[in-house]
A and B are shown apart, each in its own frame.
Chain A
Amino acid sequence: MSFGFSTRIAAVLAVILSIGLGITGFLSVQMFNRTLGEFLAARFEFVARDIKQHIETQLDLGLELTNIQNIPGIMATYLRDDPQIYTIEVFDEAGTVLYSTDTSFEGDLVAEEWIQAWREADEDGVWTLLQRDAGVIGVVLRNSLDQNLGSLALRYSRDFLDKSVSEHESRLLLTGMLNLAVIALLALLGSAVIFHRPLRDLKRLHEAIDGIVKRDKGPPVEALFDMQSPDFCEFARVACSAQDMLAEAIGEIRRIDGDQEAS
C-alpha cells in the first residue's frame, strides 16, 4: 500500500525532474550549436576577408570589379585549401554573379535572401545566412571611395556542424537516459524513506477513524491507536463523546417518552 503511494510520488518526481533535465539538455545543445557555429563562422569570415583584401587592393589600383582577372585563381586556391568550403562567389550590386569557383553560376542572379542579407550587413560589412545544407558568410566589397560594389559570399559545409551537434545530442541523450534511470531509482528510494513514517501514521489514523465509526460504546478511544498525535487524540475524544452523548440523548428522550406513556 505504502509502496504504491511512494511509487506515485517518485514517478511524478521523475517526470518533473526529467523535464528539468530536458531543459538543461535542450539549452546545452543550443549553446553547443551556437558556439560551434560561431567558431566555424569566425574561420570562414577570416578566409572571406582575406580574399576581400586581395580584391579591394586591386580595386584601389583602379581596376573594375568585372575586370580583375586573378580573382578566380585566388578563390580556387582557398577552395582547394579547405575542403569544407563549397563555393566562393563574387556578385555585383544587382546580385549578378561575376566570379564563382563553380563557373556555371557566373551570370546567374544570387538568391533574394542573399541580397537582403547583404543589404543588412553589420557595421563591419559582414553578413551571414544559415541555409538548410550550408552556411553562408559574406563580406561587402568597397572601393576606395567607400562605394558598395557588391559582395563576396562563401558557402561552407554544414555537415561538420550538423554532425557534431547530432553527436553531441546523442551523447547527452544517452547521459540523460542514464541520469534519469538513476534519478527514478533514487526518487523511489528517497520517497519510500521520506513517506515511510507519514504513511504508517496515516494508516493508523485511518484505522483509528474506522474504529471510532464502528465503535458503539466501546473502550476509551486512546486504546484504539497508539499515535503520538495530541491533535488527533483530542479530536477522537470529542468525536467519541459526541457519539456517546447522542446515544445517551436518544436513550434519554426514549426514556422520557416511555415514562410518559407508562404514566
Chain B
Amino acid sequence: MNLLGGEPNIEGSDNTVAGRHGGVLLQVVALSAFLLLASQVAFAWHSLRGFEQVLKPQVALKAEAVARSAGNLVGFAINGLGIEPERLVGVDTYFREVMAANEEVEFLALVDEVDGILFASGISAAGIEGLGIAGGVSEPASRARSEAITAFFPIALNGAATAKVVAGVSADYVGSRLSNIYFDVITVIVVSWFVTIEFIVFFMNTQITTPLKSISMALVFGRNGVFSNRLAVRTRDEVGRVISALNSLLRSLQHRYEDFSFEVREIRNAQLDVKVADRVQSVRQNVDDRFRFTGGDDIRPVSSIQIRIPLFLMMFSEELSRSFLPLFVNRLVPADSNFTNEFLVGFPITLFMLAAATFTPIGGAIVDYVGSRRVFLVGALTAGAGYAGTFLTAGYYDFIFWRLLSGIGYGLIFIAAQAWVMKNTQIRRRAKEMSVFVGAVFVGMICGPPIGGIIADRLGYEATFLLSAGLSLISGFIVNSTLDESHVRRKSTRVWFDFRSWRILIIDPRFTAVTFFAAVPGKFVATGFFFFLVPLRLAELGNSQSVIGWIMMLYGVTTIACLPLASWFADRTGKYSTIVALGVALTGLGCLACIPAIGFLDGTWAIAIAILSLGVGHALSLTSQLAIVQNVADSHRGLLGQASAVSAYRLVERLGLMLGPIVAAPLAFSFGYEMAIVGVGVITLAFVPLYLVTMHFAGGVSPVAQGGE
C-alpha cells in the first residue's frame, strides 16, 4: 500500500519545510551570482586599465619603428644618392605598401620644415596641420594625443634636420584592439561565472536542499501514519540537529511499538482463552491499521541535480581540447601516408563521434539493466583512460586508439546521465528535470574550449589531456560517492535494445515525429548553420576571432538562460509537442534574418539575431523533445526501457549532425554564405508542417495524454 500517494512534491508545495524555504536556494544563488559578477566586473575593469597603460606605449614604439624605417630609406635617397626631397619618386607608393603591411599605421608623411607636406599617404595637408606637428625635431620621438599616436623620424640634410617622416597610428586602432579585449574579458567573465554557479548549485543541493528534502519526506510519511523510516542524511548543523531529533522521535515511536508488540506476544502466548487472545490481537490490529512502525527503509532523497556536476566535469573535460584538437592531430599525422592530410586530421574526430554514437544505444540497454551509476563509472574510467593515453601518445595510430576509448566513454556517460535524470524525474516535471542534463552539457560546451585553449597555450596540448583525465576521475569519484541507486528497482529480465525495440519506436508516429522531424532538423541547423556557416560568414564580414567567439558564445548562453523558463512553461502547460514545433520554427525563422532584403540589419547583427533565435529555439525544443521520448517509452513499458528509447532518439538525431555540413557546403558554394544560411533556415522550416501533421495523426498535439500519465 502506498500511503503517500506518490512522492512528496518537496519544492513545489509551500506546505513543506523545504517548500517554505525553497526560496533560500534561489536567494543564495542570486547572492553568489551578484557577488561574483560585481567582483568580476571590478576585477576586469582594473585589468583593462592595465591593458590600456601597457598597450599605448607599445603602439607608439611600433609607430617609431615604422617612421625610422621609412626615414632611413628616404634619408638614404636624399643624403646617399643626392636626390632633392621634392624630386623623390615612388614615395607615395612606398608609404602605401608600408601601411598595407602594417594595419595599425593610419598615415605616413614626409614633411619639409619649409615647404610643409611633400608626400603623404592616409592623411591630408589639413589633417597634418591639425595634428600640430610643425617645428623641427632632432631626435626620433613619438607623441600620444587623443586622436592619434604620432611618431617622428628626422632627416638631416647638410647636417641640419630639415625634414621628418611622420607615422601615425589612429587612437581608434588602440580602441579597436581594446574592444577585442573587452569581448575576451566578457567571455572570461561568462565562463568563470558559469563554472562557479555550477559548483554553488551543487553545494547548496548537497548541504541544504537534500537534507531539507529528507525532512520533508519524513514529515509527509509521518502525516500518513508511517513512522517506520529513518533519515539517512547526516549533517552537523541546525538541519542535522532537526534530522537527529526526527530520528529520535521515530526511534522512540518504533521502540514503543516494539514494547507494545512484545507485550501483545507475551499476553497472547500466555493466554489460554482464545477470545481474550483475539481481543488483544484486535487492539494490535487497530494500531497497525492506523500506523506503520516497522519495515521501513532509510530516507535517501535523490535528485537529478546530483548528476549535474559529474556530467558537467565530463563534458568540460572533453570540451577542453575542442579548440586545438585538429592542430594536435596535425602534429601526429604520418608524413608517408597515402591519404590526404585533411582526411587524416578529420579521421580521429569522426571516429570519436562514431564510437560515441555506437555506444549510446549500447549504454542505454546496459543502463536499463545495471543502473546509471555503474555505466557512468565505467564511462568515466574509459574516457579518463583515453585522455591519459592521449597524454602519453607517441604517434597517430596510438592517438586513434585512445580517442576511440574516449569516444566510448563519452557515449556511455551521455546516456547514463540522461537515464539518471529520467529515472529521478516526476512525470509532470520532465522538461524541467531534463534541463538539468541539457544545462550541464551546454555549460561544459561554453566553458571548456576557452579554458582549454589557454591551458594548451601555457602548458601544451598534452597537459590539457592529462587535466581531462584527472577531471574524469574526479567525476567518477563524485558519481560513486553521491549517486545512490539502492532504491531503484532494476529490471529482472533484460530488455535489450534490438530490432523489435526499433520497430516499436519507428511505428510510433510520436517517436517518428519528434526524432525525424524535430531532433534531426534541430541538429541539422546546429551543424549546418552554427558550426559551419557562422564562423565563415562572420569572418567574411571582417570580424575578429574574439568577436566571432563572443557571438558564437551567445548560443550557449541564450540556451542556458532560457532553459529553466522554457522547461517550466512546458511542464506547466503540458504542451510539449507544440513547444517543440515552436522551437524548431524559431530556429528556422532566425536564419531568415540573414536575407539580404532585410536591409536594416547589418550582416553581423543578422547573424547574432539568428544565433539568439537558435538558442531560444533549442531551449524550447530540447527538453520537451526528451519529455516526449520518455512519454513514448512509458507507453511501451515492459517492452522498452526509457534509456533505450532515448538512446535510439540520440542515434537518429545524429543524422542531422551529419547532414548539416553536407547540405550547407554546396549551398555556400553555389549561393554564398549569406544565402546558404537562409537556405538552411528554409529547409529547417519545411520540417515544421511535417512534424505537426505527424503529431496530429498520432492522436493529439500533446503526447502527454498518451504517455504515462
Partners in one complex: yes
Which A residues form the contact surface with B (CB < 8 A)? 1-2, 4-5, 8-9, 12-13, 16-17, 19-21, 23-28, 30-32, 34-36, 39-40, 42-43, 46-47, 49-50, 77, 81-82, 164, 167-168, 171-172, 175-176, 179-180, 182-183, 186-187, 190-191, 194-195, 197-199, 201-203, 205-206, 209-210, 212-213, 229-232, 234-235, 238-239, 242-243, 245-247, 249-250, 252-254, 256-257, 260
In the complex, chain B residues whose CB is within 8 Å of the CB of A13: 28, 31-32, 35, 200
Of A77, A164, A172, A197, which contacts B47 at CB under 8 A? A172
> Do A203 and B287 have beta carbons less than 8 Å apart?
no
In the complex, chain B residues whose CB is within 8 Å of the CB of A50: 65, 69
B273: Cβ under 8 A from any A Cβ: yes
B50: Cβ under 8 A from any A Cβ: yes
6 A-B interface contacts by CB (under 8 A) = A16-B203, A28-B43, A39-B58, A164-B54, A172-B50, A239-B249
Q: Measured between alpha carbons, how far is A195 from B25 in the docked complex, in Å?
A: 10
Q: Measured between alpha carbons, how far is A46 from B177 in the docked complex, in Å?
A: 18
Of listed B195, B249, B252, B451, residue having the most chain A CB within 10 A? B249
> Do A195 and B188 have beta carbons less than 8 Å apart?
no
Given contacts A16-B199, A168-B50, contact A176 B245 (CB under 8 A): no
Q: Measured between alpha carbons, how far is A191 from B54 in the docked complex, in Å?
A: 40
> Do A179 and B43 have beta carbons less than 8 Å apart?
yes
> Do A206 and B238 have beta carbons less than 8 Å apart?
yes
> Do A239 and B20 have beta carbons less than 8 Å apart?
no
Given contacts A250-B260, A254-B263, contact A35 B55 (CB under 8 A): yes
In the complex, chain A residues whose CB is within 8 Å of the CB of B17: 201, 205, 229, 231-232
Of B39, B51, B191, B263, which contacts A32 at CB under 8 A? B51
Of B28, B241, B267, which contacts A194 at CB under 8 A? B28
> Do A43 and B42 have beta carbons less than 8 Å apart?
no
> Do A256 and B280 have beta carbons less than 8 Å apart?
yes
Instruction: Give the residue name and chain of the A residue nearest to B264 (CB).
Output: A253
Q: Measured between alpha carbons, how far is A39 from B32 in the docked complex, in Å?
A: 37
Given contacts A17-B32, A46-B62, contact A201 B223 (CB under 8 A): no
Given contacts A1-B238, A239-B227, contact A46 B102 (CB under 8 A): yes
Q: Measured between alpha carbons, how far is A231 from B44 in the docked complex, in Å?
A: 47
> Do A36 and B219 have beta carbons less than 8 Å apart?
no
In the complex, chain B residues whose CB is within 8 Å of the CB of A195: 24
Q: Measured between alpha carbons, how far is A250 from B52 in the docked complex, in Å?
A: 84
> Do A31 and B181 have beta carbons less than 8 Å apart?
yes
> Do A242 and B185 have beta carbons less than 8 Å apart?
no
In the complex, chain A residues whose CB is within 8 Å of the CB of B207: 9, 12
- Chain B nearest CB: distance from A132 CB in Å? 14
Given contacts A23-B195, A190-B31, A242-B227, contact A253 B40 (CB under 8 A): no
B544: Cβ under 8 A from any A Cβ: no
> Do B28 and A182 have beta carbons less than 8 Å apart?
no
In the complex, chain A residues whose CB is within 8 Å of the CB of B47: 28, 32, 168, 172
Additional pairs, 16, CB under 8 Å, beyond known A205-B17, A229-B15, A232-B17? A2-B238, A12-B203, A17-B36, A30-B454, A32-B54, A36-B58, A43-B61, A172-B43, A172-B46, A175-B43, A179-B39, A186-B31, A186-B35, A230-B15, A245-B291, A250-B259
| Residue interface mask B194-225, A partner, CB < 8 A = 1 | 01100110010001000000011001101111
B248: Cβ under 8 A from any A Cβ: yes
In the complex, chain A residues whose CB is within 8 Å of the CB of B196: 16-17, 19-20, 23
B508: Cβ under 8 A from any A Cβ: no
> Do A27 and B55 have beta carbons less than 8 Å apart?
no
B665: Cβ under 8 A from any A Cβ: no
Instruction: Give the residue name and chain of the A residue nearest to B19 (CB).
Output: A231
- Chain A nearest CB: distance from B463 CB in Å? 14
> Do A209 and B245 have beta carbons less than 8 Å apart?
yes
Instruction: Give the residue name and chain of the A residue nearest to B140 (CB).
Output: A81
B500: Cβ under 8 A from any A Cβ: no
> Do B237 and A4 have beta carbons less than 8 Å apart?
yes
Given contacts A23-B195, A179-B42, contact A31 B260 (CB under 8 A): no
> Do A245 and B287 have beta carbons less than 8 Å apart?
yes
Would you list the 7 A-B pairs with minimal beta carbon distance, nearest first? A20-B196, A23-B192, A209-B245, A179-B39, A27-B188, A235-B219, A235-B222
- Chain A nearest CB: distance from B424 CB in Å? 22
Q: Measured between alpha carbons, how far is A184 from B84 in the docked complex, in Å?
A: 71
B256: Cβ under 8 A from any A Cβ: yes
> Do A175 and B46 have beta carbons less than 8 Å apart?
yes
Instruction: Give the residue name and chain of the B residue nearest to A207 (CB).
Output: B245
Of listed A186, A206, A235, residue having the most chain B CB within 10 A? A235
Of B55, B72, B291, which contacts A39 at CB under 8 A? B55
In the complex, chain B residues whose CB is within 8 Å of the CB of A257: 267, 271, 276, 280
B189: Cβ under 8 A from any A Cβ: yes
> Do A199 and B238 have beta carbons less than 8 Å apart?
yes
Q: Measured between alpha carbons, how far is A38 from B19 in the docked complex, in Å?
A: 54
> Do A231 and B62 have beta carbons less than 8 Å apart?
no
Q: Measured between alpha carbons, how far is A210 from B264 in the docked complex, in Å?
A: 28
In the complex, chain A residues whose CB is within 8 Å of the CB of B279: 256
B523: Cβ under 8 A from any A Cβ: no
- Chain A nearest CB: distance from B324 CB in Å? 14
- Chain A nearest CB: distance from B622 CB in Å? 27
> Do A46 and B238 have beta carbons less than 8 Å apart?
no
In the complex, chain A residues whose CB is within 8 Å of the CB of B454: 26-27, 30-31
Interface residues of B in 276-294 (CB under 8 A from A): 276, 279-280, 283-284, 286-287, 290-291, 293
Q: Measured between alpha carbons, how far is A186 from B28 in the docked complex, in Å?
A: 12
- Chain B nearest CB: distance from A263 CB in Å? 10
Of listed A19, A77, A172, A246, residue having the most chain B CB within 10 A? A246
> Do A256 and B267 have beta carbons less than 8 Å apart?
yes
In the complex, chain A residues whose CB is within 8 Å of the CB of B43: 21, 24-25, 28, 172, 175-176, 179
B87: Cβ under 8 A from any A Cβ: no
B489: Cβ under 8 A from any A Cβ: no
Q: Measured between alpha carbons, how far is A234 from B222 in the docked complex, in Å?
A: 9
| Residue interface mask B53-69, A partner, CB < 8 A = 1 | 01100110110011011
> Do A238 and B223 have beta carbons less than 8 Å apart?
yes
In the complex, chain A residues whose CB is within 8 Å of the CB of B102: 46
Q: Measured between alpha carbons, how far is A77 from B75 in the docked complex, in Å?
A: 14
> Do A24 and B264 have beta carbons less than 8 Å apart?
no
> Do B458 and A30 have beta carbons less than 8 Å apart?
yes
> Do A20 and B222 have beta carbons less than 8 Å apart?
no
Instruction: Give the residue name and chain of the B residue nearest to A74 (CB).
Output: B72
> Do A16 and B200 have beta carbons less than 8 Å apart?
yes
Of listed B44, B62, B252, residue having the most chain A CB within 10 A? B62
